[in-house]
Amino acid sequence: MEVEKFRYDNQIVRLFFFATVFWGIIGFIAGLTAALELPFPWVNFSAATTFGRLRPVHTNAVIFAFVGNGIFLGYYYSIQRLLKTRNYSDLLSRIHFWGWQLIIVAAAITLFAGFTTSKEYAELEWPIDIAIAVIWVVWGWNMIGTILRRRERHMYVAIWFYISTFVTVAVLHIVNSFEIPVTFMKSYSLYAGVQDALVQWWYGHNAVAFFLTTPYLGLMYYFVPKAANRPIYSYKLSIIHFWALIFIYIWAGPHHLLYSATPEWAQSLGTVFSIMLIAPSWGGMLNGLLTLRGAWDTVRKDPVLKFLVVAITAYGMATFEGPMLSIKGVNALSHFTDWTIAHVHVGALGWNGFLTFGMIYWVVPRLWKTKLYSIKLANWHFWIGTLGILFYVIPMYWSGITQGLMWKQFTPDGLLQYPNFLETVLQLIPMHIMRAIGGTLYIIGAVMMIYNLFKTARAGSFMADEEAEAPPLRAQIEHDDKTYWGHRWLESRPIRFTILAVVAILIGSAIGNLPMFVVESNIPTIASVKPYTPLELEGRDIYIREGCVGCHSQLIRPFRNETERYGTYSKAGEYVYDHPFLWGSKRTGPDLWRVGRKYPDAWHYNHMYDPTSMSPGSIMPPYPWHIENDLDYSNIEAKISALRSIGVPYPEGYEQQARADLRKQAEGIAQGLDAAGIRTAWNKEIIALTAYLQRLGTDIRAD
């Protein structure tokens, strides 16, 4: 058989390696800083670095910058070798790399500056959303091109996972990012309230599934058998768990919304599909761990395998815990607490982090044609990192369960045992300090890795283009007179495979989301619920800008303890004008949905200036700049028109009255404050924010 010579592009792998390590450290430090802000509020020293803005910087940096670059590093290394070809286009690879880095830089700048849509893991504003879609398609184009140019007849299981990642993330990102632009860096979600919540958590959950899980399973399927030098345990299992995983995963999003104002059929689908997800997820874990049969001896000595084994184990634990948290009874306790934070960090630190480290320790010596500088140092990294994970997650489980129980505790007289929310927050401070120590250990390990890899690269010489050879596909097909059927047949038909994967993920997406748009009865409307006034709208945009949703939910669940603490539980119809919804996913502070008219305006004024003045011991950062900053309402007309165009019933021509109405309401509040002894101009941010807070949840009040 004739043989063709070609060269693998290692340069693109090296670029993504640098980016992974660089953004990894940035993302970890952002996380550590955010962690320190809870026990030590002075760490929130400026507007840009308050917890509300820093949290999305951390989550975006870790997910899209660290793990994202990690995906592409492993992808570019493995796909060329699995398909015996160079990438389809070096230019597309470079555009992909630099485009992705530019997006990350733009994300960091805009998030620190307060430009955010507030939808979790989709916070970036619309111009960046478009850039992400373009760059994502560049990657997919390059991938499909590479697959079509392959010299390997069948696609290996890793590639199935890469394909499903590409198509699903494209669908998720585009659908969830539908928003109506107001200005260059401001938009409103096309969806409102309950719809927005369902679309967002269909996206949010599957960002975990198809950004943090499927591509990493692909990497696992390449690097585990390579590093262990053992065959994959079961091809059958690969097929079953791959299709089951991508088909079932997409349905499970509403488990983020149990006991909420979403329709219960959606909640129940979330629960049962999460439970059915245990076996497909564990299929990946089994295929990873059982591949190591006969290689456990090596695991003892080889740091690469150690990292991979802990990563796969963490994956197994997190994918068992996830379904458990989707059971109503467990979720009733865990939701809105640190338990969720512990859960995601088992995945992020254990599965994604350790798999990345293992992969890097394996790839770098091969790129630089040398041996790892120090196995001992890598082993140290492994142990310090593992200790870091334990120090992180155990206190967070403790903290989550403690707070969940405290919220629910009643006295024998039937009163809340801890009516002051703050009491349940201050109880957690020792746990929050411990998790910061865990995070520090994890970072120390990563720094040791960087030193080790730096020394490794220095000792070797980088091989930009690696020689390889293989017979062309045509010759293989002629040579191979076997006819294939079933899945084996499909593996040699990449376009049909891709279409089938799209169908698999669209079924759950459609059934889970469409009824919310086409069936009216799912969101009962409430006549007394009215759109926000112009001033309240500006206040809401400040609330969004500051990332208040990072610590405060706006969703009262139908539990006795919640209605006692906050007031009547949330109804779907109350949120019909909420573009975007602001339910939140974590209560570091109390729920705010019924805070409207609970306190006087002066309370909010003083509280925003210094939270500890109204709530002694509060860990909320002070926001004195809201008292000084002039309210920028120059786009109020555009905001009103934009919202009307997506269904908020502002009367035609209301734009012309918006400014006058805004001023009138603001002056009223300023006069009220004046009567309480606080002198302030009407055109300050605090006035708009107060107007919004005083409106929250009051539409269905009887008085």
Partner 1 sequence: MAKNEPRDELLNHDFDGIQEYDNQLPGWWKNLFYLTIVFAVIYLLYFHVFSVGDLQKVSYLKDIDPDYVPSPQDQEGAVFDAYRAPVYAASEQRTPFDRAQANAEAYERFEQNMLEAMRNADAAQLARLQEDFPAIFEAYTAQGGRLPAGVAAAEAEAATISEPITDAAILAGAKDLFGQHCATCHGDAGQGGIGPNLTDEYWLHGAKIANVVRVIQKGIPAKGMIAWEKTLSPDEINAMASFVLVELQGSNPPNPKAPEGDKVSE
Burial of residue 614 (number of CB atoms within 10 Å: 0-12, 13-18, 19+)? middle
Residue 109 CB neighbours (<10 A): 12
Considering Cα of 336, then 337, then 343, then 345, what sign does the dihedral take?
A: positive
| Shortest Cβ 235–partner 1 spacing (Å) | 4
Kindly tell me which of 48 and 237 has the beta carbon lying closer to partner 1: 237
Per-residue mark of binding to partner 1, 628-647 (x: CB under 8 A): --------------------
The beta strands (E) that lie in 140-210 are given as 179-183, 186-189
Interacting positions 103-142 with partner 1 (CB under 8 A): none
Is 608 strand, coil or helix? helix
Residue labelled with tokens 């068992």: 320
Q: Rounded to an integer, what distance in angstroms lies between the CA atom of residue 272 and that of residue 259?
A: 15
Q: Select the residue interacting with partner 1 from 81, 149, 493, 663 (CB under 8 A).
A: 81
Using CB under 8 A as the binding rule, whether residue 295 contacts partner 1 is answered as no
Terminal Cα distance for the chain, rounded? 87
Q: Rounded to an integer, what distance in angstroms lies between the CA atom of residue 44 and that of residue 400?
A: 23
Determine the size of the site formed for partner 1 (CB under 8 A): 70
Per-residue mark of binding to partner 1, 563-582 (x: CB under 8 A): xxx---x-------------
Region near partner 1 per CB under 8 A, out of 41-49, 176-184, 612-620, 679-687: 612-620
Contact 689, 543 (CB under 8 A): yes
Kindly tell me which of 180 and 275 has the beta carbon lying closer to partner 1: 275
Using CB under 8 A as the binding rule, whether residue 676 contacts partner 1 is answered as yes
Contact 631, 690 (CB under 8 A): no
Contact 583, 89 (CB under 8 A): no
Per-residue mark of binding to partner 1, 60-79 (x: CB under 8 A): ------------------x-
Per-residue mark of binding to partner 1, 83-102 (x: CB under 8 A): -x------------------
Using CB under 8 A as the binding rule, whether residue 244 contacts partner 1 is answered as yes
Using CB under 8 A as the binding rule, whether residue 222 contacts partner 1 is answered as yes
| Shortest Cβ 66–partner 1 spacing (Å) | 26
Contact 307, 335 (CB under 8 A): no
Using CB under 8 A as the binding rule, whether residue 472 contacts partner 1 is answered as no
Q: Select the residue interacting with partner 1 from 2, 42, 297, 415 (CB under 8 A).
A: 415
| Shortest Cβ 453–partner 1 spacing (Å) | 23
Q: Select the residue interacting with partner 1 from 43, 185, 237, 405 (CB under 8 A).
A: 237
Using CB under 8 A as the binding rule, whether residue 282 contacts partner 1 is answered as yes
DSSP state of 259: T
Q: Rounded to an integer, what distance in angstroms lies between the CA atom of residue 459 and that of residue 611?
A: 55
Strand partners, 468: 6
Helix (H) or strand (E) holding 470: strand 465-470
Using CB under 8 A as the binding rule, whether residue 333 contacts partner 1 is answered as no
Using CB under 8 A as the binding rule, whether residue 427 contacts partner 1 is answered as no
| Shortest Cβ 664–partner 1 spacing (Å) | 20
Query: Between vectors from CA 202 to CA 167 and to CA 219, what angle results, nearest 5°?
Result: 45
Using CB under 8 A as the binding rule, whether residue 162 contacts partner 1 is answered as no
For the chain, what's the residue count? 703
Helix (H) or strand (E) holding 310: helix 303-325
Kindly tell me which of 7 and 81 has the beta carbon lying closer to partner 1: 81
Nearest CA among 293, 284, 155, 159 for reference residue 229? 293
Using CB under 8 A as the binding rule, whether residue 265 contacts partner 1 is answered as yes
Tell me phi and psi for residue 691, to 5 degrees. -60, -45
Residues that bind partner 1 (CB under 8 A): 78, 81-82, 84, 152, 154, 156, 222, 225-226, 231-238, 240, 244, 259, 263-265, 268, 271-273, 275-276, 278-280, 282-283, 286, 290, 411, 413, 415-416, 419-420, 515, 519, 521-522, 524, 558-560, 563-565, 569, 597-603, 606, 613-616, 676-677, 703
